[in-house]
Amino acid sequence: MAWTVDNIPQIKFVNGVEVPLSQEEKLAIVEDWNNQPSEFENSLNVLRDTRNSLLAKTDYLALSDQTMSTEMTTYRQALRDITNGLTTVADVEAVVFPEKPEA
């Protein structure tokens, strides 16, 4: 839903007294509310944060002085690909993270 000046609060309370919002205040509220991330964007951001944390826990294995196993390479790639094709909150909620192999 796109917010407009017509569907936002028209008053504010200052020291317990109702005061009409100025046009500038209304426009600022509309801009702020219309720029809020959607529920899908929020859920995708949470998923990415979890994925990034899991990747970070195995980053040391990707250093040049380490030899990463094929299983670990596959695991890390699966984590990087985990957001591919997600288009709804239900898709995000249905994600199952791959199981981490032994390092």
pLDDT in tens, 49-97: 999 999 999 999 988 888 899 999 999 999 999 999 999 999 999 999 9
The pTM of the full predicted model, rounded to 2 decimals, is 0.67
Q: Please name which of 22, 24, 26, 23 lies closest in space to residue 9, comparing C-alpha atoms.
A: 26
Rounded to whole angstroms, the Cα distance separating 47 from 97 reads 10
30-44 tens-digit pLDDT: 888 888 888 999 999
Do residues 12 and 19 touch, judged by C-beta distance below 8 A?
yes
Contacts of 2 (CB under 8 A, 6+ apart): 34
Do residues 65 and 20 touch, judged by C-beta distance below 8 A?
no
Q: Tell me the residue length of the chain.
A: 103
Question: What pLDDT is recorded for position 3?
Answer: 78
